Amino acid sequence: MSIRKITEYPEEVLAQIGKPVEKFDEELEKLCEDMFETMYDADGVGLAAPQIGLNLRLFVMDCEDIKLVAANPEIIASEGEQSSSEGCLSVGKVPAVVIRPAKATLRAQNLKGEWFEREAEGYAARCFLHETDHCDGKLFIDHLPKMRREMIITKFKKEKRWK
């Protein structure tokens, strides 16, 4: 296992639509182990493949009581609304309030390539939505009004300079 370098805004891979995962082999398993390790090391609750520079529809998460690998994820249902603070390892964890559905159902493939569905609410639902967005080349800041988005980016760039 090894910790991978986390890609950060505005790296292009973060804005690309990921390619489908096609091979469910040992290599994928090892990649996911690295992704979990990278995520835990960064104190994150979710990490998508584009965040380590791979243009792939894949994420791992360990949020509340849900720990899973999701290949080729899609959100097949959502309802309600929640509004709370969200951050992203690729944007230096600078937080912003994002409005999201309160509940979401994820459909994805596990490491064996088997399809599964999982429903979540609250923080874990937010994580499903945030990570699935990454696979579609979308960042949480893309959900914000333009001014708010610019503010977060400016803050992120400033914090990065201080590091």
> Which residues contact Ni ion (rule: CB under 5 A)?
88
State which residue, 71 or 88, has the beta carbon closest to Ni ion: 88
State which residue, 88 or 135, has the beta carbon closest to Ni ion: 88
- On the question of a cis peptide bond just before residue 10, with omega within 30 degrees of 0, the verdict is yes
State which residue, 72 or 133, has the beta carbon closest to Ni ion: 133
Just list the catalytic residues. Answer: 131
Closest-by-Cβ residue to Ni ion is 88
Residues near 138 by Cβ (< 8 Å), separated by ≥ 6? none
Report yes or no: 110 and 116 within 8 Å, Cβ to Cβ: yes
For residue 14, the minimal CB distance to Ni ion (Å) is 9
- Of 161, 109, 38, nearest to 47 by C-alpha is 38
For residue 87, the minimal CB distance to Ni ion (Å) is 8
For residue 68, the minimal CB distance to Ni ion (Å) is 16
